């Protein structure tokens, strides 16, 4: 068989060599397997290179397109390799196991939870009567139970799984043992009021089976199960926790009696742990003076990592180090409570009893609102309380504002606070304005009943009008600048039935003016994106918007619908247009502004990305993005 050479060269050049690289050779199982292995190594290398570029914000749209193209092609070629291996005469055990394992890995990567459970069942069924596949079938079966427990949605369904699981645990203890944690967590999730006394007889058959294992590691899992039960049954009980801080002092949870305490098990290498900390610290700063305390419990194995992180972030809550604690002869409370996935959190009330475990994000905000409602209201109304406390508190409500409808009361409080403090020089007041306007815009989108197509005076415009005269006269340069965005929001709300102004520079350098499209219905999509991280892009509203626009264009192509995209951001040409966008007019907002054209993102007060505008054949604006799909249907129905 000819040797396949994998080239190492820049991403932009590699595309020329990929056609040769992806030609699957003929050969024996060993040769096909080795080809697939080298191809996977190339995939890992390219993804790693792209990840490094992404982290340094040095990647281009071409880089992103190349790596996505390579990943897609890799999946296609991997399937072709498996077909060739399966077609070999008299495949041996190694070849058959290889095919099953690759199918298993594919199910892990690409399927959502319910589909994954079903696909694993199909793979197991296909292995059932082949002695060569007995061992890998056991591995897959263990994972099947893991995902089946995750997918269980009622106690009766879990009870049936439990009976089947006991049989499997007895049959293959060493593989099945790793599903026990998930079973316990799901049991307590579905029966939140279950007591330790009730759970003990359920776990007794599991423990009995584990005690008979000849594998020492499997037997040691009994202690872990005890820790998991200890953690899951904490609500309503007092929590035991004691540890040593980096400076050598000891902290005991009992010393914080009378306070609301949030315990957070984490380490510096945990992305979700670190990612949630800025929001948590904002809550801590806002509430620490009214009896809220955070106890951070680091399980870092390197003290230098923890010390550097604390110095860099400046978080002011007490942080226990498991390393320092062990040096002082104290238990590892992370293991004491069953270890497992992090972040692992506990919320404790003033009476010292646990309120909830694994409470984070929006749920934590709601719990703290209930616990501190009286104290917070008094401090916010007290003129002697510093501005910094009030600002920290309002900023800490970010998740609350973005995750549910803003109430009239919350809206009024924020408007009053911004106006009252308009001359403060803190730039965070602009962030608070942006939070308010985004939350109100979201309310506009959800509450469609308030909108009249012909004369839409949205709530966001009403709020902008109230804030505008105060911000225009502010001593804060930040707020004066933001007043321009508020002017745009008002302008946007008043332009229905009026001619819309728009001109910009295309990506190819030529110019475009909305006046050039008289006689055609036009959708202008304004979007903003400054992160160089494709993961951030996927989590934004942009993929949904682009897909929605593709559907609109396809559906109304016969009526002459034209899509114009207006991008403002520092990732030039991002996201890169694909074949489905070939009829779009893609414009570059930054290049247009550099040429002296207006910043239409600000001129029309775009609050969130994306912002959509529908212009009729006479060039008159008839709709923004609220209920946009139905607006198009009504427009073309006329």
For 422-448, write each residue's pLDDT tens digit.
998 778 888 888 888 877 776 665 454
Residue 55 pLDDT greater than 60, yes or no: no
Peptide bond into 376 cis (omega under 30): no
| Average pLDDT of the segment spanning 131-140 | 94
Question: 572 lies in which domain range?
Answer: 503-637
Residue with tokens 């903003």: 528
pLDDT recorded at residue 583: 83
pLDDT recorded at residue 629: 63
Q: How confident is the model at residue 58 (pLDDT cuts 50, 70, 90)?
A: low
Boundary (domain end) residue, out of 365, 382, 416: 365
- Please tell me the distance from the alpha carbon of residue 502 to that of residue 361, in angstroms, as a whole number: 40
| Average pLDDT of the segment spanning 478-497 | 86
pLDDT recorded at residue 333: 95
| Average pLDDT of the segment spanning 456-474 | 82
Q: How confident is the model at residue 6 (pLDDT cuts 50, 70, 90)?
A: very low
Smallest Cα–Cα separation from 141: which of 108, 174, 176? 176
Q: If residue 57 lies in a helix (H) or strand (E), which one and from where to where?
A: none
- Please tell me the distance from the alpha carbon of residue 603 to that of residue 598, in angstroms, as a whole number: 7
* pLDDT top residue among 570 and 455: 570
* Number of CB atoms found within 10 A of residue 199's CB: 17
161 φ, ψ to 5°?
-65, -40
pLDDT recorded at residue 229: 83
* pLDDT top residue among 16 and 85: 85
**617 located within any domain:** yes
pLDDT recorded at residue 60: 64
| Average pLDDT of the segment spanning 28-47 | 90
Kindly state whether residues 488 and 514 are assigned to the same domain: no
**541 located within any domain:** yes
Residue 456 pLDDT greater than 50, yes or no: no
Kindly state whether residues 457 and 518 are assigned to the same domain: no
Mind listing the pLDDT tens digit for each residue in 231-255?
A: 888 888 899 999 999 999 999 999 9
Q: How confident is the model at residue 419 (pLDDT cuts 50, 70, 90)?
A: very high
**519 located within any domain:** yes
| 259's tokens | 């306070």
Beta strands of 529-578 (E only): which ranges? Answer: 562-568
Kindly state whether residues 474 and 539 are assigned to the same domain: no
**329 located within any domain:** yes
Smallest Cα–Cα separation from 265: which of 317, 366, 339, 185? 339
Kindly state whether residues 537 and 621 are assigned to the same domain: yes
| 217's tokens | 């590691």
**472 located within any domain:** yes
- Please tell me the distance from the alpha carbon of residue 609 to that of residue 546, in angstroms, as a whole number: 11
- Please tell me the distance from the alpha carbon of residue 444 to that of residue 603, in angstroms, as a whole number: 20
Kindly state whether residues 430 and 358 are assigned to the same domain: no
Residue 281 pLDDT greater than 80, yes or no: yes
**Which CATH number covers residue 291?**
3.40.30.10
Residue 97 pLDDT greater than 60, yes or no: yes
Kindly state whether residues 449 and 551 are assigned to the same domain: no
pLDDT recorded at residue 199: 83
**120 located within any domain:** no
Would you call 206 helix, strand, or coil by DSSP? Answer: helix
Kindly state whether residues 465 and 513 are assigned to the same domain: no
* pLDDT top residue among 368 and 262: 262
Indicate the average pLDDT of the chain: 82
pLDDT recorded at residue 100: 94
The angle subtended at Cα 474 by Cα 468 and Cα 479, nearest 5°, is 70
Kindly state whether residues 249 and 329 are assigned to the same domain: yes
Kindly state whether residues 616 and 509 are assigned to the same domain: yes
Rounded percentage of the chain residues whose pLDDT exceeds 90? 31
**129 located within any domain:** no
| 248's tokens | 């050598």
Residue 168 pLDDT greater than 90, yes or no: yes
Kindly state whether residues 75 and 39 are assigned to the same domain: yes
- Please tell me the distance from the alpha carbon of residue 381 to that of residue 393, in angstroms, as a whole number: 13
Mind listing the pLDDT tens digit for each residue in 313-357?
A: 889 899 999 999 999 999 999 999 988 888 999 999 999 999 999
User: Which range has the top average pLDDT, 45-59, 536-550, 600-614?
Assistant: 600-614
* Range name among 263-277, 313-327, 395-409, 530-544 with the lowest pLDDT average: 530-544
Residue 508 pLDDT greater than 50, yes or no: yes
Q: How confident is the model at residue 631 (pLDDT cuts 50, 70, 90)?
A: low
**380 located within any domain:** no
Domains in the chain, number: 4
Could you give the count of Cα atoms lying within 13 Å of 257 in the half-sphere of its Cβ? 4
Kindly state whether residues 480 and 516 are assigned to the same domain: no
Boundary (domain end) residue, out of 312, 335, 365: 365
Boundary (domain end) residue, out of 91, 123, 157: 91
| Average pLDDT of the segment spanning 186-194 | 82
Kindly state whether residues 301 and 322 are assigned to the same domain: yes
Which pTM does this prediction carry? 0.59
| C-beta of residue 117 within 8 angstroms of C-beta of residue 111 | no
């Amino acid at each position: 068989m000819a040797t396949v050479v994998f080239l190492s060269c820049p991403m932009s050049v590699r595309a020329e060599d990929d056609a040769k690289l992806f030609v699957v050779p003929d050969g024996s199982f060993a040769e096909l397997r080795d080809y697939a292995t080298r191809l996977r190594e190339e995939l890992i290398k390219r993804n790693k290179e792209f990840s490094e570029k992404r982290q340094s914000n040095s990647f281009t749209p071409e880089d992103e397109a190349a790596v996505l193209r390579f990943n897609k092609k890799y999946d296609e070629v991997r399937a072709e390799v498996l077909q060739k291996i399966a077609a070999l005469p008299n495949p041996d055990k190694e070849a058959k196991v290889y095919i099953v394992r690759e199918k298993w890995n594919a199910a892990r990567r690409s399927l959502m939870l319910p589909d994954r459970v079903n696909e694993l069942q199909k793979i197991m069924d296909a292995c059932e009567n082949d002695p060569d596949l007995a061992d890998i079938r056991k591995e897959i079966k263990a994972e099947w139970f893991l995902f089946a427990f995750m997918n269980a949605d009622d106690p009766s369904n879990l009870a049936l799984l439990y009976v089947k699981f006991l049989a499997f645990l007895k049959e293959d203890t060493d593989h099945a043992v790793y599903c026990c944690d998930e079973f316990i967590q799901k049991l307590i999730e579905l029966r939140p009021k279950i007591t330790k006394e009730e759970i003990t007889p359920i776990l007794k058959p599991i423990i009995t089976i584990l005690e008979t294992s000849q594998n020492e590691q499997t037997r040691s899992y009994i202690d872990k199960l005890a820790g998991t039960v200890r953690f899951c049954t904490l609500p309503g009980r007092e929590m035991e926790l004691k540890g040593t801080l980096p400076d050598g002092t000891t902290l005991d949870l009992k010393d914080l009696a009378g306070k609301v305490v949030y315990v957070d098990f984490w380490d510096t290498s945990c992305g979700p742990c670190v990612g949630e900390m800025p929001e948590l610290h904002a809550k801590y700063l806002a509430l620490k003076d009214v009896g809220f305390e955070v106890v951070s419990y680091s399980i870092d194995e390197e003290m230098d990592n923890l010390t550097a992180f604390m110095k860099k972030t400046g978080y002011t809550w007490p942080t226990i180090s498991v390393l320092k604690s062990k040096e002082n002869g104290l238990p590892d409370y992370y293991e004491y409570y069953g270890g497992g996935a992090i972040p692992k959190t506990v919320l404790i009330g003033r009476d010292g009893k646990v309120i909830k475990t694994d409470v984070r994000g929006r749920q934590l905000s709601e719990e703290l609102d209930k616990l501190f409602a009286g104290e917070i209201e008094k401090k916010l109304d007290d003129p002697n309380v510093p501005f910094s406390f009030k600002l920290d508190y309002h900023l800490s409500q970010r998740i609350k504002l973005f995750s549910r409808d803003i109430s009239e009361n919350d809206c009024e409080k924020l408007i009053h606070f911004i106006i009252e403090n308009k001359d403060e020089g803190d730039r965070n007041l602009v962030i608070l304005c942006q939070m308010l306007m985004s939350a109100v815009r979201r309310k506009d989108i959800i509450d469609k009943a308030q909108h009249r197509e012909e004369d839409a005076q949205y709530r966001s415009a009403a709020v902008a009008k109230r804030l505008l005269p105060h911000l225009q006269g502010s001593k804060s340069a930040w707020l004066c600048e933001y007043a321009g965005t508020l002017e745009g929001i008002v302008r946007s709300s008043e332009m229905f039935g009026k001619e819309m102004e728009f001109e910009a520079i295309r990506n190819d350098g030529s110019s475009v003016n909305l006046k050039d499209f008289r006689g055609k219905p036009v959708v202008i999509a304004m979007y903003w994106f400054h992160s160089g991280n494709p993961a951030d892009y996927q989590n934004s509203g942009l993929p949904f918007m682009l897909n929605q626009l593709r559907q609109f264009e396809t559906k109304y192509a016969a009526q002459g619908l034209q899509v114009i995209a207006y991008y403002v951001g520092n990732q030039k040409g991002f996201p890169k247009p694909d074949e489905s966008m070939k009829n779009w007019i893609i414009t570059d907002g930054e290049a247009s502004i550099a040429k002296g054209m207006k910043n239409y993102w600000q001129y029309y007060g775009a609050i969130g990305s994306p912002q959509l505008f529908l212009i009729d054949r006479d060039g008159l604006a008839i709709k923004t993005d609220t209920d946009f799909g139905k607006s198009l249907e009504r427009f073309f129905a006329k």
